[in-house]
Structure 1
Amino acid sequence: MTAANPLTDLLAEKGVLLADGATGTNLFAMGLEAGEAPELWNESHPERIDKLHRDFVDAGADIILTNSFGGTRHRLKLHQAQDRVFALNKRAAEIARAVADRALRKVIVAGSVGPTGELLQPLGAMSYEDAVAAFVEQLEGLKAGGVDVAWIETMSSPEEIRAAAEAASKVGLPFTFTGSFDTAGKTMMGLDPKDIHGVAGDIGGGPAAVGANCGVGASDILSSLLDMTAADPAAITIVKGNCGIPEFRGAEIYYSGTPPLMADYARLARDAGAKIIGGCCGTSCEHLAAMRQALDDYTPGPRPTLGTIVERIGPLRNKTAIESGGESTRERRRRRT
């Protein structure tokens, strides 16, 4: 049984929650340069981070994620900021906390924790203990800044999920975690969507919610959602999909999803059993507002089939996990946008 915390309390009250949209995509629109660390904006441009959170709340988000996805020392070292882990994460949490506290309704502040970008032993050099220590360092800053929950996301490695979950438990935060099923229906490290529930159920009080984020496109993540909710219909499941399909147009990445498409994605996610629904890469406040309206006007429909999803959202870009037997040992090194 998941212990009571602000996230599960609000879920019990509302039944379904809307998480926010993209961080990176929207910060790029505000002037973030390619290769620049978004986390540094917590100090250099806090007003822009504040505005992004406010815009998501105004669009209807029940959950806002801190601007701290790359907030471990391993990520920040790429920007000579590895000695500022606590300060940058604390500031990220403070900005989001202030926005949530000003809202006219309850808004959950989720501390975004992304992968370190390092491979754990035996595939790489980082020990499990070092991974836990790095996540503890990040989460101590997020907790000091006032987050309600550790939001472990875009993960590929079950061991790294466990390390982050253990860190959350050590610092006394409830946690959720999501995998990115972008390699033939599995994560890059071979985790199958149906197996997500068992990754860290024995750590602390267990996860408040588990699920999928990022990945390929909206149809693919809904396919993963069907596998996850079939495997454990009683679990609180998160889906935070990309806004349609990412396509390169010259040097720019363009996302094909329209607000009506993302509204339909939200309805299908609800019918497929998701309890926390949001958007990842490419999802703007306009998309999120359409998703809010779709969930508010929700009329229950039958559990969708893969055929229904493809018909309404578009073709899959990946094999499903069931079709795929292969596993990959490459770890995700790019950041969520």
Structure 2
Amino acid sequence: MTPQPNPLSDLLSEKGVLLADGATGTNLFAMGLEAGEAPELWNETEPAKITKLHQDFVDAGADIILTNSFGGTRHRLKLHKADDRVHELNKRAAEIARKVADAAGRKVIVAGSVGPTGELLIPLGAMSYEDAVAAFAEQMEGLKAGGVDVAWIETMSSADEIRAAAEAAAKVGLPYTYTGSFDTAGKTMMGLHPKDIHAVAKDVGDGPVAVGANCGVGASDILSSLLDMTAAEPDAITIVKGNCGIPEYRGAEIHYSGTPPLMAEYARLARDAGARIIGGCCGTSCEHLAAMRKALDDYTPRPRPTIEEIVDKIGPLRNKTASESGGDAGRERRRRRG
């Protein structure tokens, strides 16, 4: 099946490699978001701060900006008594990003961020597959109404939940991408191997525009996942959006070890390993992103890196790789994209 033309595919064809934005959560915390507060509510209460974050990423060179809607399903918003406002909060998130993108003076893609519901699907939990599709479709209708170019399904652990979100995108009429978080011994928490990410929703609608990995543990680990993904399907358009170095607790606060030079090297290694969409997740500031932009603009092709070379250049792995780990999917835990 040949995917229909869409703005993301068009820009990929034009530029070859795209830079996605950096962290939403950690940057909003730096702007005053409180722990436990829903970032999505800021689309209404603090729109100037959301606008500034998008603008700063565009100024740093991002080709793709993600809407402030990661927790925008009814299941997540219910925790903040806002599950009756799914459409309006997601529409507003999209409108804020769309306005920034349209004023950029160059093509910037608005990607509608869609994170996991936080619920487990039957038989592990109470949520039916049909309920998951309906919840994602409700969110995506709002994002589409606000003007997103693509549904950006991210930080997923469950293959079934990815498929449900992909089905919702097809139902709503949005092209889609999806990424897993390979944070449990090189696999997702639910046991999905990086090499198997391509096939999860290949047959849904027109198929994904791109697939890949985001978040996880550290920059070296996500590049290990990237090597598995690009080895499995070298011609696929692969996304990598890694955390800024390694998270470290300092007292009660999490800090990320990545410097701008480290993230620039991460971007070069990601390109060497075959990624076509490269960005940052937790801890990635506009300063980091600007260094990544320069690294990609000045990119000189190098041989495909080995794990050893990645470790040598940007630091040790924190987890086993997927090929080293067994079948233990680990334990369920809640998380929000950084």
TM-score (norm 2): 0.99
Conserved? CA contact 2:184–2:330, under 8 Å: no
Provide the secondary structure at the position in 2 that maps to 1:268. helix
How do 1:296-311 and structure 2 match up within 5 A? 296-311=297-312
Letter in 2 for 1:280: C
Q: Distance in 2 between matches of 1:2 and 1:261?
A: 36
Counterpart of 2:190 in structure 1: which amino acid? M
**Distance in structure 2 (CA, Å) of the matches to 1:191 and 1:217:** 18
- Tell me the alpha carbon deviations over residues 12-47 of structure 1, each in whole angstroms, 9 at most, x when there is no partner: 000000000000000000000000000000000000
Q: Secondary structure at the match of 1:198?
A: coil
* Structure 2 equivalent of residue 292 of structure 1: 293
Aligned partner of 1:121: which letter?
Answer: I
Partner residue of 2:273?
Answer: 272
Q: Specify the SS of the correspondent of 2:214.
A: strand
Are 1:194 and 2:200 an aligned pair?
no
Is the partner of 1:79 in helix, strand or coil?
coil
Residue 52 of structure 1: how far off its partner (Å) = 0.1
Letter in 2 for 1:304: P
For the pair 1:321 / 2:322, whether they are aligned, the reply is yes
Structure 1 residue 4 displacement after superposition: 1.3
Structure 1 residue 328: Cα displacement: 1.7
Structure 1 residue matching 2:69: 3-state secondary structure: coil
Instruction: Spell out, residue by residue over 1:49-83, the C-alpha distance to the aligned partner (whole angstroms, 9 max, x if none).
Output: 00000000000000000000000000000000000
- Structure 2 alignment gaps of length 5 or more: none
Cα deviation for residue 329 of structure 1 reads 5.6
Residue 177 in structure 1 maps to residue 178 in structure 2: yes
Superposition RMSD in Å: 0.6
Aligned counterpart, 2:16: 15
Q: Identify the residue that residue 219 of structure 2 maps to in structure 1.
A: 218
Q: C-alpha displacement at 1:172, in angstroms?
A: 0.1
Structure 1 segment 103-114 matched on structure 2, within 5 A: 103-114=104-115
Once the two structures are superposed, the pairs formed by residues 1-337 of structure 1 within 5 Å of their partners are 1-328=2-329, 330-337=331-338
Aligned-pair CA distance for 1:327: 2.5
Say how many residue pairs are matched. Answer: 337
Matched letter for residue 268 of structure 1: L
- Worse overlay, 131-140 or 325-334: 325-334
The separation in 2 between residues aligned to 1:330 and 1:221, in whole angstroms, is 20
Residue deviations 1:136-175 (CA, integer Å, cap 9, x gap):
0000000000000000000000000000000000000000
SS of the residue aligned with 1:266?
helix
The answer to whether the 8 Å contact 1:157/1:331 transfers is: no
Which consecutive segments of 4 or more residues in structure 1 shift more than 2 A?
329-332
Offset of residue 332 of structure 1: 4.3
Task: Give, in whole Å, the separation in 2 of the partners of 1:29 and 1:187.
Answer: 28
SS at match of 1:151: strand
In the TM superposition, what is the alpha-carbon distance from 1:184 to its structure 2 partner? 0.2
Q: Which amino acid aligns with 1:286?
A: E
- Aligned residue for 1:211, secondary structure, equals strand
Quote how far apart the aligned CAs of 1:325 are.
1.2
Q: Is the 8 A contact 1:156 1:332 kept in 2?
A: no
